[in-house]
Structure 1
Amino acid sequence: MKAGALDLGEASKGLAPRGGVNKGVSILDFILRLIALIGTLGSAIAMGTTDETLPFFTQFIRFRAKYDDLPSFTFFVVANSIVSAYLALSLPLSIFHIVRSGARSSRIILIFFDTAMLALLTAGASAAAAIVYLAHKGNARANWISICQQFNSFCERISGSLIGSFGGILVFILIVILSAVAVSRR
């Protein structure tokens, strides 16, 4: 009888910490989703509102740089906006995982969609990074000059926007890893 009571006690001790760890992972998941939401939404807004106009010889002739002049930047804004909307919609499910840390099927669904959003965010940021590099450095072989010497404000904003998006990518990687750890603990 005493051996059975000991086994029951060990079993209950083994379950209690696991539930506490899963709850901690769920809380960390929620916080990381908020951080990623701020980063991706800020990136989309910063890129989407980037616009700079420079006068040329007279006040009637002007050069203008705007994010939607380049399809890569438009894709970047759309990708960050979609990921931001997804993160906002996934917050209630993340709260559900805090309350019910043992939920497994909904966490697997989140891993699937998190991975898809990570791929979309990476594609958008990578496409924009290539254009930002050309804006800063140019390409002598293709006879493209760097525009960042003239459009300083434009280049600062698009570079800052990329930093927020790549930060969101890193946070998404952590979210996927944390979710996988939480599922594997079952």
Structure 2
Amino acid sequence: MKIIICAGIHEPELTKSFITGWLDSATDRSNNENQPDILVFSGEGILTLSALHILLFLRDRLSNKLESPVIFIGFSAGVVGAIGAATKWQLQGGNVKAFIAIDGWGVPLWGNFPIHRLSHDYFTHWSSVILGSGEDNFYADPPVDHLSMWRSPQQVQGHWADPSIGFPQPPNSLNAAEFLHLLLKRYE
């Protein structure tokens, strides 16, 4: 399975920090079998919004192997391009296992695959429900600034939110990196 990372409009070092923080806290580094196969779409600026450019990147990296299962992880503006690419990839016969949006506030998320949101605060979490709540979600508590979700997910404490339970729900405390790890294990 491939994990496709679609970052937002920010310094590339933040994406490296995200991957390191997520992997260091959520996997056994001594066991290479547990290391996910990650592809980072390196489009910068306006290209992060382009589903077409992400799709071309996928076609190039996966050699048009549509049957290869993929999980998309998008952050901020990268969620826009990533959801479009995931939908088009699936419409062309691609195997999209899941879509994970990290702080994709204001981005409608619908698809014929599981969708999850991670938000930097409760307001962003609940106000995103009208744009597609997805399945299991996460929100930071206490709230953090937007870039902290990407820079250091292992340091962002919060709650697992299941929209089928409704609001309010009992807290299930963990950090964002742990939440990501648990989601990815579900789709192995």
Q: Please give the TM-score of this superposition, normalised by the length of structure 2.
A: 0.21
More strand by share: 2
More helix by share: 1
**Rg bigger for which structure?**
1
Q: Please give the TM-score of this superposition, normalised by the length of structure 1.
A: 0.21
